Amino acid sequence: MNGVENVLEVSGLTKVYGGLTAANNVDLAIPEGQVRALIGPNGAGKTTLVGLITGRVTPSAGTVRFLGREVGDMPAFKRISMGMGYTFQITSIFAKLSLHENVALAVRRRGGTTAQVDGEVRAALGEVGLGDRIEQLAGDLSYGHQRLLEIAMGLAQKPKLLILDEPTQGLSSGEVTAFKALIRGLAGQTTVLLIEHNMDVVMAIADHITVLNFGEVLAEGSPEEIRANGAVQSAYLGGE
């Protein structure tokens, strides 16, 4: 795959729940290496769209192409094995295992010798700033550190697309600063789709922003363009 191609291409994606259209004819294309933020007021359809992309939600209409391949009929686990990595709003770590063991579980899915796994575990934990806590039990970490551990587990899978669903929720301001630096450090190497409510984080780290409102793409553009967009401003003022 060359740098011009899109890692993810979503076209006409629609999800209808009874009488409610949670995603309405959504088009989205994320080029390789981009940090894309997906924002929108509560209930705009962000989680639904991520579910459609990852395969946890079945579309009513539309297509999802990942790495140039149509994946609409593919179950979630196959999309993961193709390189779609994600972390959820709810933490999914193993509390009784050490940080090292948690990340090793993610690394081992790709195979490798014990020494290689160990090296990659340490690298991933170092990247998120948990390099000095490798042998601690995950359950003993603060909530914010547990979220960072999850991101390390996502990164350890070396995903072609890393989807982060509200990663800064519950983080302290210091942890948010570290998170911003982490994602900026990934830009250009890892393609990221970030669902985020914290506008300060979005404006600081996104290359490009897609705004959803009532299931539809309301606007798309650079952080500056989105900040200046009147329709986006009124969607947020109306919604909050």
Which residue in 47, 98, 102, 168 binds ligand ATP (CB under 6 A)?
Answer: 47
CA distance 92 to 149: 10
CB of 133 to ligand ATP, least distance (A): 30
Which residue in 40, 85, 159, 167 binds ligand ATP (CB under 6 A)?
Answer: 40
DSSP codes, 3-35: TTSEEEEEEEEEEEETTEEEEEEEEEEEETT-E
CB of 42 to ligand ATP, least distance (A): 4
- The piece of 1-9, 24-32, 45-53, 59-67 that touches ligand ATP (CB under 6 A) is 45-53
Burial class (CB within 10 angstroms; exposed 0-12, middle 13-18, buried 19+) of 130? buried
CB of 142 to ligand ATP, least distance (A): 23
Q: Which is nearer to ligand ATP, 20 or 228 (CB)?
A: 20
- The piece of 15-23, 27-35, 66-74, 96-104 that touches ligand ATP (CB under 6 A) is 15-23
**Order of strands, sheet of 61-66, starting from the edge strand that comes earlier in the sequence:** 20-31, 6-17, 61-66, 69-70
Q: Does 239 contact ligand ATP by CB under 6 A?
A: no
DSSP codes, 55-105: TSS--SEEEEEETTEE-TTS-HHHHHHHTEEEE-SS----TTSBHHHHHHH
Q: How many CA atoms lie within 13 A of 217 on its CB side?
A: 18
Nearest to 99 by CA among 157, 148, 32, 161: 148
Q: Does 22 contact ligand ATP by CB under 6 A?
A: yes
Q: Does 42 contact ligand ATP by CB under 6 A?
A: yes
CB of 47 to ligand ATP, least distance (A): 3
Q: 66 near 6, Cβ under 8 Å?
A: no
Q: Does 58 contact ligand ATP by CB under 6 A?
A: no
CB of 215 to ligand ATP, least distance (A): 7
CA distance 31 to 221: 14
Q: Does 48 contact ligand ATP by CB under 6 A?
A: yes
- The piece of 44-52, 71-79, 146-154, 186-194 that touches ligand ATP (CB under 6 A) is 44-52
Interface residue list for ligand ATP (CB under 6 A): 17, 20, 22, 40, 42-48
